[in-house]
Amino acid sequence: MRNLCFVFIFLITISNVFAQKSNNDNIKKSFLELPRIEVVPITDTNTDRHYELYIKLPEGYSEKSNKKYPVLYFTDAMWHIEILSGTTEYLLEDAILVGISWQKDIDENLKREIGEHLSRYRDYSIRKSDNKEYQATYQYGQANNHLSFIRNDVFKYVENKYQTNENNRTYFGYSMGGEFGAYILLTQPDTFKNYILGSPSLHNDILLLSELKFKHKKLNANVLVSYGALEKELGANAEKFISMLTSRNDKSLLLKPVIIGGSHQTAFPMTAVKSMYWLSALIK
Strand partners, 181: none
Query: Could you tell me the pTM of the whole model?
Result: 0.89
Rg of the chain taking only CA atoms, in angstroms: 23
* E strand residue ranges, 86-236: 96-100, 164-174, 194-198, 221-228
Degrees to nearest 5, angle at CA 116 with 112 and 118: 95
Instruction: Express each pLDDT in 108-138 by its tens digit.
Output: 999 999 999 999 999 999 999 999 999 999 9
Report d(CA 243, CA 202) in Å as an integer. 14
Helix orientation angle between 267-283 and 77-91, rounded to the nearest 10 degrees: 50
pLDDT at res. 10: 43
**pLDDT tens profile 47-65:** 999 999 999 999 989 888 8
Contact 278/239 with Cβ under 8 angstroms? Answer: no
Cβ contact 127:138 at 8 Å: no
Separation between Cα atoms, residue 65 and residue 100, nearest integer Å: 25
Angle at CA of residue 206, ends 201 and 211, nearest 5°: 135
- Top pLDDT among 8 and 115 is at 115
Q: If you average pLDDT over every residue of the chain, what do you get?
A: 91
